[in-house]
Amino acid sequence: MMIVEAVLARAPVRIDLAGGTLDIWPINLALGRPAVTVNAALDLPVEARVRPTADGSIRLASRDLGQEVTYADRSALELALAEGRCPLALLGLAARAADLDEGFALETHSPLPAGSGLGGSSALLGAVLGALHAAAGRDIAPHEIQPLAQDVETALLGTPTGYQDYFPPLLGGCLALERRIGDLVVDRLPVDLDALAARLRLAYTGEPHVSGITNWGVVRAYLEGEATTVNALQAIAGHAARVRAALAEDDLDAAFEAILADGNARRTMAPGVSTPGIEALDEAVRGAGALGSKICGAGGGGCVLILLPNAEAGPAVDEALAAGPWQPLPVGLVEAGLVVEPLAN
């Protein structure tokens, strides 16, 4: 494929409400019960810009990392990837996966703190792959981007990865993802996103999480039959099914009860999922009137989702967050997923 136009792609990230880790193979098929993951698209969009280059070079740039690298052509990029010399390997591997024949400049931006636990790298991959294909004049559907992006991230991390992080960026909305033998069912839940967002707060702990290490530890413990991990994942599966059913009925109270139960089970899943910083944040927001908190993503740091009994409890929780060493992030939930539009040359 060759670049035919300049484009900008935007994609939201996600908050995971319940059933995280159940999206990782082979856990999702070995549980002996439905593996459901529930999440929602968060309006903190990542961006990818693609423009053609006149000299056929390939330029990769990350505004957030402050890094930029240029390769004379695709062969030079391939050599750098093979030798582990590409400082922006995520972008380089995505460019390889998009199978472009001509030169281009790719620039990315994410508004998230490092290691947020909000699926930022997965959203970025979705935006990059959508932008590269659109810039080459090729239509690609979300269900085609998702496995391609997951393969790229798995190749980069060298550890098992889940599928949940790709769907909110690509599709938007509140989703229930259920893995079945030979199929992955994506169920768009009829949730009032504004009402849900009004009862949520989000804060970054200041500790970047390392999802690849944490996920691999959980997979290994599950496959080795460690009772604590197996029991926690079985409990999480039950809580996630309850969250899905409650949200389908627009029952936020029941959904929040099950989300908190999911979060409590997750804390027992493996060492390192929770941290002293996460527990201090939980204590502070509970003291301010919150129902509790849930670790985002694989844990070990990153962001924490805070659940409120009602929207009126928000100001007191906001005050508690502002008084601590945490970084509050805005919670806006959106129906739209990946959007790609032309850029002026």
Domain count, the chain: 2
- Torsional sign, CA 141, 74, 13, 176: positive
% of the chain beyond a pLDDT of 90? 79
**Are 64 and 130 contained in the same domain?**
yes
**Are 182 and 204 contained in the same domain?**
no
- Model pTM score: 0.93
- Domain membership of residue 33 (yes or no) is yes
Strands 104-109 and 58-62: parallel
Q: Where in the sequence is the domain holding 122, given as residue range(s)?
A: 7-189+334-342
**Are 133 and 209 contained in the same domain?**
no
Query: What confidence tens digit (pLDDT) does each residue in 199-254 have?
Result: 999 999 988 766 555 677 788 889 999 999 899 999 999 999 999 999 999 999 99
**Are 171 and 223 contained in the same domain?**
no
* Radius of gyration over every alpha carbon of the chain, rounded to an integer in angstroms: 20
- Domain membership of residue 267 (yes or no) is yes
Per-residue pLDDT at 116: 87
Strands 104-109 and 183-188: unpaired
- Domain membership of residue 338 (yes or no) is yes
How far is the CA of 240 from the CAs of 83, 85, 196, 266, in angstroms? 42, 41, 17, 12
d(C-alpha 332, C-alpha 335), whole Å: 10
**Are 239 and 293 contained in the same domain?**
yes
Write the CATH number for 85. Answer: 3.30.230.10
- Domain membership of residue 107 (yes or no) is yes
Query: What confidence tens digit (pLDDT) does each residue in 314-337 have?
Result: 999 999 999 999 999 999 999 999
**Are 216 and 176 contained in the same domain?**
no
Bridge partners, residue 183, by sequence: 180
